[in-house]
Amino acid sequence: MTAPQLHAKTGGMALKATIHKASIQVSDLDRNAYSDHNLTIARHPSETDERMMVRLLAFALNAPPNNDLGDLELGKDMWEPDAPALWQKDLTGLLMHWIELGQPDEKQILRVCSRSKKVTVYSYSSATSVWWAGIANKITRAKNLTIWQIPAEQAEALGALVKRSMDLQLTLQDGSLWVGEGERSVEVTLQCLYGNPDA
C-alpha cells in the first residue's frame, strides 16, 4: 500500500507530514467477517485528530475482502485538491471506489460519481445538517453514491484516541460499531443520509 507523499510545497515552504502507524483489527460479528490492517499515515499538518480517525474508520469499513479488484489506498486529498481521502483502483486502473470526508459540494460529488463505480462520503461536522439540506435535492440522480453522517461528538471522541502508534479494534455487532484503543472505546452511530447502505 502506498502512503501519501511526505512533503508538499506551498508558497515555497515545505510542509512536513507527521507519521502515524495504525494496526486495525476488524471484527464484523454480524457478517462473521474478520480482517487485520497495518497502515502508515502521512498526516498533513492541517489534518485534525478527528479527521484522521474518520479516515481510518472509513478505511476499515470499506477495505475489500481481497485484492482481486485492487487495494483500498489512503489518498492525498490534503496535499492535492482533486484527490480523494481514500480510493480503490482495479488492476487496470479503473476507479472502483472513491471516498470523501467532510462536506463536498454537489458539483464535486456528481463529477466523481461519473468517474468511479462507487462513491462514499463521510460527514462528521456539527454543521452536517446544514450542508445536507443544501445539497440533498441536487444529487438525486447519483445512483452509485452513499453518504454517511457521524455525530460530531463521536468524531471528537474518536480524535481523543489518537497516538503516534495505535492498536485499534473495530467491532460491529447488532448494527452497533465500537472503536477501541487499549482500555478506551467509542461507540460510533453511523446514519445513512443517502444511498444504499448495503451496496
* Confidence bin at 13 (pLDDT 50/70/90): very low
Domain boundaries, the chain: 48-163+184-194
Distance between CA 172 and CA 1 in Å, rounded?
25
| pLDDT for res 16 | 86
The tens digit of pLDDT for each residue in 84-110 reads 999 999 989 999 999 999 999 999 999
* Confidence bin at 15 (pLDDT 50/70/90): confident
The tens digit of pLDDT for each residue in 126-179 reads 999 999 999 999 999 999 999 999 999 999 999 999 999 999 999 999 889 999
| pLDDT for res 68 | 79
Mean pLDDT of 172-192: 94
Position 4 pLDDT exceeds 90 = no
**Residues 36 and 44 sit within 8 Å (Cβ to Cβ):** no
The more confidently predicted of residues 191 and 83 is: 191
The tens digit of pLDDT for each residue in 117-126 reads 999 999 999 9
The tens digit of pLDDT for each residue in 41-90 reads 988 999 999 999 999 999 999 998 877 788 999 988 777 777 899 999 99
| pLDDT for res 100 | 96
| pLDDT for res 14 | 55
Position 9 pLDDT exceeds 70 = no
Position 17 pLDDT exceeds 70 = yes
What is the homologous superfamily of the domain 48-163+184-194 according to CATH?
Restriction endonuclease-like alpha-beta roll domain (3.10.640.10)
The tens digit of pLDDT for each residue in 29-52 reads 988 989 999 999 988 999 999 999
